[in-house]
Amino acid sequence: MKYLYKIWKNNRSLIVFISLMCVFRSAVADWYEVPTGSMQPTIVEGDRILTDKMAYDLRVPFTKISLVKLAEPQAGDIIVFDSVAAQNRLIKRVIGVPGDTVALVNNQLVINGEKLDYETVAETAINRVEIENLHGIKHTVKLAKQRSYMQNFDPLIIPTDMYLAMGDNRDNSADSRVIGLVPRAELLGRAKRVIVSLDYDDYYLPRKNRLLKELQ
């Protein structure tokens, strides 16, 4: 006990600081590294994403116990969640919320019977980049020209406390089309902006154009 007390006495400020930082990262805000391109072009490999962990719930630090529900995820939100089905931490965009009926027809979303608006802004031989208007939230999505089973699913009614989430890189994302709907209990928070982005193909140098970039 005397040894522990000596450590505490000599390092009290540092221990308090580290403890507060751990609580902050657990319950208030944290950052996550994005290792894949499933959210291209919105988020790219090497991005470090700032996540607001109080966007939807006030939780007991170091647990997933919700003390107060602060808000509900909305269509267009970019969420971070611990997927039990995928056994991994994922970042995707909310497409359907409880009560919505969502379908995908030839890689274009139909929500509550209304087809979303799309505008092509770039195109290559294998894919195209389009602006998708999701209930007034305009964001870019990457769509492959080659047909695949990922480009269609039948109308699905989203039940209570469940969310349909998809990657913006629609043909290269293991999202709700693969792992199923996302339970609210798995949510960690809402992704807000890129803190810093490291270019894996250029000696991990920071990408200046992505520094503190707000996510849409």
Per-residue confidence in pLDDT tens, the chain, 216 aa: 666 666 656 666 766 667 667 766 777 789 899 999 999 999 999 999 999 999 999 999 888 888 999 999 999 999 999 999 999 999 999 999 999 999 999 999 999 999 999 999 999 999 999 999 998 999 999 999 999 999 999 999 999 999 999 999 999 999 999 999 999 999 999 999 999 999 999 998 999 999 999 998
CA 81 to centroid of chain Cα atoms: 7
The rounded mean pLDDT for the chain is 92
- Dump pLDDT digits (tens) for 78-120: 999 999 999 999 999 999 999 999 999 999 999 999 999 999 9
pLDDT at 16: 66
pLDDT at 6: 65
- Look-up of token digits 């770039």: 122
Distance from C-alpha of 140 to C-alpha of 118, rounded to nearest angstrom:
9
The b/e string for 159-191 (b: 16+ C-beta within 10 A; e otherwise) is: eeebbbbbbbbbbbbbbbbebebbebebbbbbb
Residue 6's Cβ-count burial label (10 Å; 0-12, 13-18, 19+) is exposed
- Dump pLDDT digits (tens) for 54-74: 999 999 988 888 899 999 999
pLDDT at 27: 73
**Percent of residues in the chain assigned helix, strand, coil, to nearest 5:** 20, 45, 40
Residue 80's Cβ-count burial label (10 Å; 0-12, 13-18, 19+) is buried
Q: Report whether CATH 2.10.109.10 matches the domain 2-198.
A: yes
Residue 43's Cβ-count burial label (10 Å; 0-12, 13-18, 19+) is buried
Ranges of each domain in the chain: 2-198
